[in-house]
Structures are given as C-alpha cells and as structure tokens.
Amino acid sequence: MGEKKKKEAATKNWKKVLFVAAAILFVVVMVVSSMGSRWITGLAPIKAGDTVVLDYTFYDATGTPFLTTSQQLYKDQAAKGAGILYGKQISLTANQSLRQALYPVMVYTPINGGSYQEFAIYNTEYDAISSAVAGMKANEKKKVSLAAGTSMSTLFTPEDLQQVQVNVSALQVGDSLLMGVSENPNASAANTSAVSYLRLGQVSRISDAGVVVDFGYPYAEITVVSSSNQ
C-alpha cells in the first residue's frame, strides 16, 4: 500500500473513531438532559428547607440494631433470632423542628404472625436527624447522636402491664419491652381511646410501684437516599 493510501486509510479510521465518540457523547448529553437538574441536586450539599428521603438504623443501649430500613441487615439479624423491626424510609425537611411530640413511621413487626404498625420517633430524635442532614449529600452516611439530655423513662404500674399482658414477675432489669406510647403523656397503657404507637424500651428499674422503662436511644445511622430543593 502506497504512502498516500495509508494516510487515507488512517484518516478514515480516525473519522470512524470520532463519529463513534460523538455518538456516545450525544447519548450522554441526551441522558443528562432527561434527568434535568436532579443529578446536580444529588451532588449539591443539602440545605435547610430541602426535602430529604432517608434510610436509617436505630440502635439500643447495647449497640444492637433494632429498627432498620436495610433489608439485608433485617434478614441477617432475623436469621440470628434477634428481635428487629423493618421500617419504611422517612421523608423530612432539613433543619426543621417537629411541632408535635411524636413522628410515626410505618414498621413491620414479626410479632403475632407479622403486621405493619406505626413506630414512634420522639421529636428530639427527629430534630437531631433533621439538623444532621444539612450539609450531607446523596448516598452519604452519618452517625447521629440521639441523646436528648432529658429522661425518657416511664413508670408502668403492675395494673398497666397487666392490661397489656406483661408478667411483671418474669421481667428483669435490662429486658427489652415493645410498648405503646401516646402523644398524651397522661394516657395510661389501659386507655384504649388514646392513639398509641410502638416504642422499644429497656427495663431500668423494678419495684413494688411498677416497672420503669427507658425509651431513649443513644444513636442512629442515616443515609441520604435523595433530596430536592424547595
């Protein structure tokens, strides 16, 4: 092949490469265009007022996960025979306090054959998470301290526990109890008219007066699934 034909062949090959590269670039541009500004939002830090969707895992005082949106973690813990709840993702506004006392989230509990019920997140916990997400980005994880600095303990009388079929004599300090809590602090466990939500607590004291259950949690791990500007 002559020198001229070699140059022509090389030029054709480069044209093919450039054509393919241009075609790929066109596809990339089309894909990005179809996403609008969503990909930019995912890269930008979350600001106060942004709507954020979160995955989360709550831990008890022993460092054991008891509520998670991670299907794999739920399966792993359930396979070990550990008590764990499977929750749905939550959507909140970054750096915005919760006005009501409790924030209910839907969770699956294997108790009584399995069912979905509402689990209570306290407003202090919600506020800690809402504040922590500011500055995070999509897929970023963070450990959030939930220590409220105030007591989250509740005294249940023997009569209260009898109403929910809990045997006081079988309880020991350190045992976990899945109880119902209400936005009305004066509502008793026997008050069927009060709206109550699930809450996992740990027995901290047992006396003739009843059983003191601590409903506080030390920390949670959160992961940003998505966010959008308001």
pLDDT band at 103 (very low <50, low <70, confident <90, very high): very high
Q: What pLDDT was estimated at residue 200?
A: 92
Mean pLDDT, rounded, for 56-83? 93
Which of 167-186 are b and which e, b meaning 16 or more Cβ less than 10 Å from the residue's Cβ?
Answer: eeeeeeeeebbbbbbbeeee
Sign, CA torsion 194/87/66/42 = negative
- Is residue 24 scored above 50 in pLDDT? no
78 DSSP β-pair partners: none
- Is residue 40 scored above 80 in pLDDT? no
Mean pLDDT, rounded, for 34-40? 51
Of the two residues 17 and 52, the one the predictor is more confident about is: 52
User: Which range among 22-26, 90-94, 162-166, 182-186 has the greatest average pLDDT?
Assistant: 90-94
